[in-house]
Chain A
């Protein structure tokens, strides 16, 4: 049972927009800690996609965007492409656990 809750799977057709939610609590996201998102392509290490809720590292397309509100955060992907098919994880910090926590991950399927 992950501290941050994500839907196990989402899907969309090429060109469409999908969102992935990440729900936490008052000891992590709701406490004001930033949310970060990672993309993990099959057989590879995770890659930072969004940091500090809504910032993109250099090289990440602007099709990827993040937001945070209250005890939740969201990752949006517009103009879906086949290469976006991957697992996506949110991450934050939990003050009760005194450590970083990950969501359970969401598998994105491009139909």
Chain B
């Protein structure tokens, strides 16, 4: 069974750092892009960025560029989303999802997300 399993809920203070994870199983992890999606409380889905674990090629949404870092460790089938200094406005549910689609060029990487993790709730509060 193809699965993405995310790390557990986190409670942090403003200014702290955080790295959450997403572990893939049941498929060739290095051959599929993994995306990250934010959902703030009571709000819709926002695409944050995407990474290809095979070579760590990473693309960011302009809204999230410089705000977060997406990385991957293909040896342990993990993708990561990290913050160096959290803000209260980072409070949200974060999902990882596997991209299903064809080749990604340097400028274009369309596709759908066919398998989703269960989500990691991040709460930032003083």
Contact = CB atoms under 8 A, between A and B. Distances in A.
Contact of A98 (B35, B59, B111): B59
A102 B44 contact: yes
A89 B45 contact: yes
B112 A91 contact: yes
Interface string B47-65: 1011000000001111000
Contacts, number: 75
B100 A45 contact: no
Nearest to B6: A45
A33 B45 contact: no
B112 A105 contact: no
A103 B46 CA distance: 9
A102 B97 CA distance: 14
B62 A93 contact: no
Nearest to A3: B47
A95 B62 CA distance: 12
A45 B109 contact: no
Given A45-B95, A93-B109, A95-B108, A51 B45 contact: no
Candidate in A45, A48, A87, A104 with the most chain B CB atoms within 10 angstroms:
A45
The 6 closest A-B pairs by CB, nearest first: A93-B110, A36-B112, A105-B44, A100-B47, A51-B112, A45-B116
Interface of A: 2, 33-34, 36, 38, 40, 45-48, 51-52, 57, 87, 89, 91-93, 95, 97-105
Interface of B: 35, 37, 44-47, 49-50, 59-62, 95, 97, 100, 107-114, 116-119
